[in-house]
Amino acid sequence: MPQTIHYTSCPACGSEAIKPVLQVKDFTVSKEVFAVWQCSQCTLRFTQDAPAPGEVGKYYLSPHYISHTDTKQGVINQLYHAIRKFTLKKKRQLVQKVSGLQKGSLLDVGAGTGAFAHIMQEAGWNVMGLEPDETARQNAINKYKLNFQLPEVLYSIDSQSFDVITMWHVLEHVHDLRGYLQNCERILKENGTLIIAVPNYTSLDANIYQAFWAAYDVPRHLYHFSPQSMQKLLQQHGFTISQYVPMLFDSFYISMLSEQYKTGKSRLPGAFINGLRSNMNAIGNAAKYSSVIYVVKKSKR
């Protein structure tokens, strides 16, 4: 019988004030339905009865899972690739701006096929990447000659080793949520910067699509963050959020997938309108966008 994780308390704050809020289908691989629960204390949402670490791998086995395969099949994935070159440059500029460094040491956790690590390496950064998926690691070797390590290496890296640690849409996938953050705090230099990008279930596009919102991505996404839950989680592990940065294109990409899940059709005009509505609703408050980049520093002791 497959092993699953059933939470009796919040995986972020430990509160027992948790309850189910949604039933969400895995549209990408298994077509199974999973329950999403919410903590009343910190507002984290999480996938209840999610696959255990030894079981979750099969839920990533899809030719359409772009972060592992770099597939260009279908109009949505083609659009993704079309804007990626621009967003990679913006990520590099963000790292340099918030760290105050033009060059330094960087750890990319969940490095995928290596596109971001490659652009940072080209800019003169000393880059180490961690990636659990064998296909993605092989693609990183083939495309960029980057040899990534398995995520378990995180626990044995020397303290204060990196100027910057990045997790681009990774933390929502990590079973050992607290362990990852504890070790990030340990291996980050005192004046270092942690950059975490995750979907935001309090965004307008999430509210529009509800259980069809593609960024729930169950059961691969184990946690579903709000800005409030992220702030409380990071505080527990010795971090302070210094800046919120929007990921402007995510509302459009997520809305395109969500339209497909909801209607069985791409419906690009409707997806574009909803993505635009979501971004317009968030103007003036970066914490309201479809996906949010949290720029994080160690708390002063």
The residue among 140, 128, 125, 131 whose CA lies nearest residue 95 is: 125
Kindly indicate the confidence band of residue 95, based on its pLDDT and cuts at 50, 70 and 90: very high
Chain centroid to CA 86: how far? 19
Beta-bridge partners for 50: 5
Q: What is the pLDDT of residues 26-51, one digit of tens each?
A: 999 999 999 999 999 999 999 999 99
Beta-bridge partners for 23: 35
The residue extents of the domains of the chain are 4-298
Distance, CA of 38 to CA of 47 (rounded, Å) = 9
Kindly indicate the confidence band of residue 72, based on its pLDDT and cuts at 50, 70 and 90: low
What pLDDT score was predicted for residue 64? Answer: 62
Whether 64 contacts 28, CB under 8 Å: yes
- Is the pLDDT reported for residue 191 higher than 70? yes
Q: What is the pLDDT of residues 211-228, one digit of tens each?
A: 999 999 999 999 999 999
Q: What is the pLDDT of residues 225-247, one digit of tens each?
A: 999 999 999 999 999 999 999 99
Q: What is the pLDDT of residues 103-159, one digit of tens each?
A: 999 999 999 999 999 999 999 999 999 999 999 999 999 999 999 999 999 999 999
- Is the pLDDT reported for residue 68 higher than 70? no
| Single-letter residue type at 121 | Q
Stretch 270-281: mean pLDDT: 98
The residue among 260, 233, 262 whose CA lies nearest residue 167 is: 233
Kindly indicate the confidence band of residue 70, based on its pLDDT and cuts at 50, 70 and 90: low
Whether 108 contacts 162, CB under 8 Å: no
The residue among 9, 4, 25 whose CA lies nearest residue 218 is: 25
Helix (H, G, I), strand (E, B) or coil at 166: strand
Instruction: Work out the angle at residue 176's Cα, subtended by the Cα atoms of residues 173 and 181, and round it to the nearest 5 degrees.
Output: 95
- Is the pLDDT reported for residue 273 higher than 70? yes
Distance, CA of 154 to CA of 98 (rounded, Å) = 23
Helix (H, G, I), strand (E, B) or coil at 41: coil
Side-chain-side CA neighbours of residue 239 (13 Å): 30
Write down the CATH number for the domain with range 4-298: 3.40.50.150
What pLDDT score was predicted for residue 17? Answer: 98
Distance, CA of 184 to CA of 65 (rounded, Å) = 27
Whether 228 contacts 182, CB under 8 Å: no
Stretch 86-108: mean pLDDT: 97
Beta-bridge partners for 168: 197
Beta-bridge partners for 241: 296
